[in-house]
Structure formats: C-alpha cells, structure tokens
C-alpha cells in the first residue's frame, strides 16, 4: 500500500511491520490523535479461521478497560479486509527492553511483572485465556508503563477456534499440556507467564533448545535454571514463585493470577523476608582468648596475601583469546552480568580455514577473507569438526567490551578509522582479510556480521523484512538466531557493541560470517 493512504477517517502514515496482518502508524483525523491501524492481509483473508481470529481479537480487546491492556478504539472493514484501530504506544516491546537491559533494577522488574499479572487477572476474570504470553506481546513505554497486547488466539469459555490437535501459541512459552495435546485451562497462561517472569528477571529465555524437538523435550522434562536466577540476584521468594508458575503439572502451579499478584505485592512490600533481606544471625559472645584471636588473624592475613599475590598462568589455545570468568557490564546501560570462562577466536573464520576443515576449494586470493554466504547450520558443522562451537551472544559481547563495558574494542571513543565500516574512508567498503584491524580480537566490529548461538523470537519488523527477501518467506515459527557487530556496509555506532539483529537460521548473505568459541 502506497503511503500516505486513507481508510475512513484514518490516515495511514508509516508501515510498522506485520505478518498475517499489516500494522501502520496512523492519524485519527476526527479526534486528532495518533493511533495504530492493523489490517488483515489479503492472503490471510482467504483463511476463514485466520479471519475469525482477527475479528475475535477486535471484539475481545474492544471490551477491555484496564490500564495495563492496550485499548482498542474501533474496528471495521476496508476493501474487503477487516481492520482494528488501537492506541498508539511509544516505547518498545519487552523483548527489546530485555535485550537492551532497559528495565531498571530488581524492584523495577518485579513491578513490571506485577502489572502484567494484574492485566492477566483482569482478562481471566472475564473467562478469557490469552494463550500467547511472550515478551513480544508486552509493551513497555519510556515511563515504564506496561501494556498487554495481541489477543489474536485468545479463547473464551464458549468459543473455540482451534483445530483438533493444533497447539496454539509460541513454542518457547507453551505449556506441557499444550504441546502434548492434553486438555488445557487458564493455567496455560500461568505457565507462560512463569517463563516470561524468568526471562524478565534473568535476561535469558527459560527454554533454549535449538530444534523444536529439543524445545519440546525441555518443556516436558526440565525445570527452569535456578542457578541462572541465583546468578542474576533473584530473591529466593521470587525464585519460588517462578518455579510454582512453571510446574509441569497444572495442579502444582499457582492457581490464579490473583494469587500471583498477591505474592508479588508481598515481596515488593518486604513481607517476604527471604526475598528482600537477609535474616540476621544471632550474636554470640566470643570467649576465645585475645592473643589467640590475634595470632589466628595474622596467619589468615598472611595466607590471603600470598593467595592474592600468586599469578596463575592463563590457559593458552593458539589463535584464540582466553576470557576469564567473572562479571562484566553489558547492554547500553552497562548492567552487571556473570559469565563463565571461555576462549574465542582472534579472527573471523577465513575461507582458507573453513575449506581446510570441510574439504572445499577456495578461489586464489580469497584465502584470508572471512567465510561468508553460509547459514548457521554450516557454521556449526565447521565448529564441531574442529572441536569448537559458536559463541553465545553474551560471550561475544563480553569479548568485545571487556569487563567495564567499553563501547568499542579500543575504548569508548567513536573512531571509524579503526574498523572496516562504511564511514571509514580508508576502508575498501568490501570484505577485508580477517586480520585487517588490530586485535586481540580482529574485526570484531565491522567487516562481516558474526552469527552467535542462542535461539530468539523475532520482532514483527524482522519477520516482515526477511519474508520479503527469502524464498520461502521467513516465518515466526522457524528457528531464528542473532548476528552481532555490523559489517563493511554498516556505519560505526555504539549499538554495534550491545545490539543484535535477528535472522532466520537458514539465512545467509555475503556480509555474514562467524568466529568460534571453545570451553576451557
């Protein structure tokens, strides 16, 4: 659709993305306010069930009046296609806010969790099950206000739009009963909320399988990672709440969002001692003679000093950089994050290295250029062949930024001359050899995007963008990963150190490569 365009009293100004429906920023010319118009695509209109779900969303959400649920102002039909008019929200979805570490401290995150729970308590009070709770369906505005969105597959007590045996929802957040085809209830939302709460508090997804088989196995058999919550500083009472919500058996979960909301309010108010404060140990009188205590203190002090002065040699792997375990500052707000020790390649994997291991041929003069034009499955196969793996997104960022969260490998000063990026006038504006710019990590910014490990759920914009350039079109249902660091055709910006771009696992391009990692 060519913009600007008009649908009734709504002037469409900007395409915001979409898959089965197209979403536009628009202007209500009668009331003079910004709105969002969501229009079902022509192909989706041919699917009677998709059209019914779209209209159901309009009718359900149109009846909601809650400060933490997106408002629906109007709906109708234009040129044979139904549309919904909703409030225009500034800010970002929860996925992007988590990825960018823009959620504040623990209490800020718990307040967000409470607002989501209160919205779902309101929805369940009207005998409606959302069935698609995930970060992409939660909006956070710049003031921290939360809005629950997208009731496209919600189900009322007297309406079923689901084909027999068809599980609705996003796989990473689906409950055991959904994927096993058993009878479902409102408790599927409690389970999905528990996984969302885990991710909100830790910054990582609770289910992280690389294939649908692995995802389903984890949902059916594995509990969420308690150690990840401990490392993120999640209080014990909150960890208990996450475990209750994500119990495999519905009867073992928190049985309502009213109960969840009550728990969060108690934790935020400080009533749950284990969640907000340490219990003071009883004070005991020390009856040890003073001279013995002093002598013991001296011995301990000497021992500590000797331990601190020791300089154990870091392990060495040729061609790789050792990154020790510890805390570093991540994201745009430099939030502390813990990470285990690992090795990472000094350079991107070159054509020569790749073909030596995989038995392919290299054109003369191309040996030292990054290996690009392959998908992540091929990159994983190479890494496995040589006893390595792809780095995680967190490892990649730690390797680039050091412990203090530098914006660039050389520090915080923006200097395009230090990387193969589009605004470096001395660069070739094409791929350059893997050791073109100074290490110890060569070309970690610019040259070629680098694929990193870890599944993600793509944004609507990402799905729309890759659907337009891939055959068959990219979908939200297929596996996605991220790539980091920019490329020769991208300008230098601080976000290259902490932002990630979602790509389908089957995607490949001439500016996308990788480097490997290895456990000590």
Question: What residues contact 237, with CB distance under 8 A and at least 6 apart?
Answer: 263, 267, 272, 274, 275, 276
The two tokens of residue 244 are: 């209750």
Rg (C-alpha) for the chain, rounded Å, is 26
Contact 69, 148 (CB under 8 A): yes
Q: Which of 28, 93, 132, 189 is catalytic?
A: 132
> Is residue 132 annotated as part of the catalytic site, yes or no?
yes
**What is the Cα–Cα distance from 433 to 445, expressed in whole angstroms?**
13
Q: How far apart are CA 183 and CA 464, in angstroms?
A: 34
Q: How many CA atoms lie within 13 A of 214 on its CB side?
A: 9
Distance separating alpha carbons of residues 331 and 101, to the nearest angstrom? 6
Kindly tell me the burial class for residue 408, based on how many C-beta atoms sit within 10 Å of its own C-beta (0-12, 13-18, 19 or more): buried
Here the tokens at position 337 are 């994050």
Residue 104 CB coordination number (10 Å): 15
Please list the residues that pair with 6 across neighbouring strands. Answer: 11
Sheet holding 342-345, edge to edge: 320-323, 342-345, 517-518
What are the residues facing 77 on neighbouring strands? 82
CA–CA dist 86, 185 (Å, integer): 28
Give helix 257-269 / helix 236-245 axis angle, nearest 10°: 170
Phi/psi zone of residue 480: left (φ > 0), alpha (ψ -120 to 50 degrees), beta?
beta
**246 DSSP assignment:** T
8 A C-beta contact, residue 445 and residue 496 = yes
3-state secondary structure of 420: strand
- DSSP secondary structure letters along 165-213: TPPPS-GGG--HHHHTT----THHHHHHHHHHHHHHHHSS-S---SSHH
- Record the tokens describing residue 467, joined without a space: 């659907």
Residues 239/225, Cβ–Cβ less than 8 Å = no
Closest C-alpha to 144, from 122, 123, 114: 114
Q: How far apart are CA 209 and CA 321, in angstroms?
A: 27
Catalytic residues: 132
């Amino acid at each position: 659709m060519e913009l600007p365009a008009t649908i009734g009293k709504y002037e469409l100004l900007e395409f915001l993305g979409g898959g089965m429906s197209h979403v536009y920023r628009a202007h209500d010319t009668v009331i003079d306010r910004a709105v969002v118009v969501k229009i079902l695509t022509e192909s989706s209109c041919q699917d009677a069930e998709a059209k019914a779900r779209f209209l159901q969303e309009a009718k359900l959400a149109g009846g909601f009046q809650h400060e933490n649920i997106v408002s629906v102002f109007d709906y109708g039909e234009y040129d044979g296609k139904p549309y919904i008019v909703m409030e225009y929200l500034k800010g970002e979805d929860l996925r992007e806010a988590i990825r960018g570490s823009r959620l504040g401290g623990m209490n800020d995150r718990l307040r967000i969790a409470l607002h989501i729970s209160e919205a779902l308590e309101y929805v369940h009070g009207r005998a409606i099950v959302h069935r698609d709770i995930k970060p992409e369906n939660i909006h956070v505005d710049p003031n921290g206000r939360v809005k629950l969105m997208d009731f496209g597959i919600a189900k009322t007590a007297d309406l079923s739009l689901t084909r027999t045996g068809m599980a609705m929802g996003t796989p990473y957040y689906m409950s055991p009963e959904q994927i096993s085809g058993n009878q479902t209830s409102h408790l599927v939302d409690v389970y999905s909320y528990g996984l969302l709460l885990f991710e909100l508090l830790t910054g990582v997804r609770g289910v992280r399988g690389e294939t649908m088989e692995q995802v389903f196995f984890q949902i059916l058999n594995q509990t969420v990672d308690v150690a990840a919550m401990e490392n993120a500083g999640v209080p014990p009472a909150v960890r208990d709440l996450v475990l209750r919500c994500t119990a495999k058996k519905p009867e073992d979960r928190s049985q309502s969002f009213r109960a969840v909301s009550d728990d969060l309010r108690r934790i935020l108010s400080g009533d749950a001692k284990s969640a907000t404060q340490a219990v003071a140990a009883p004070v005991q009188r020390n009856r040890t003679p003073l001279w013995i205590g002093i002598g013991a203190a001296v011995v301990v002090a000497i021992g500590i000093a000797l331990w601190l002065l020791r300089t154990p040699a870091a392990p060495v792997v040729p061609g790789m950089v050792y990154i020790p375990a510890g805390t570093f500052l991540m994201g745009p707000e430099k939030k502390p994050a813990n990470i285990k020790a690992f090795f990472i390649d000094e350079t991107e994997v070159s054509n020569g290295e790749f073909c030596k291991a995989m038995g392919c041929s290299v054109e003369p003069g191309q040996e030292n250029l990054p290996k690009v034009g392959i998908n992540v499955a091929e990159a994983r196969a190479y890494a496995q062949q040589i006893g390595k793996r792809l780095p995680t997104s967190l490892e990649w960022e730690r390797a680039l930024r050091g412990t203090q969260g530098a914006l660039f490998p050389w520090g915080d000063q923006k200097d395009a001359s230090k990387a193969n990026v589009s605004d470096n006038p001395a660069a070739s504006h094409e791929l350059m050899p893997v050791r073109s710019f100074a290490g110890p990590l060569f070309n970690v910014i610019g040259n070629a995007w680098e694929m990193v490990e870890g599944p993600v759920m793509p944004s609507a914009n990402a799905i729309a963008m890759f659907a337009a350039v891939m055959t068959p079109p990219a979908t939200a249902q297929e596996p996605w990963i991220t790539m980091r660091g920019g490329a020769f055709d991208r300008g230098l910006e601080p976000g290259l150190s902490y932002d990630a771009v979602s790509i389908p696992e089957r995607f490949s391009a001439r500016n996308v490569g990788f480097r490997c990692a290895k456990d000590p």
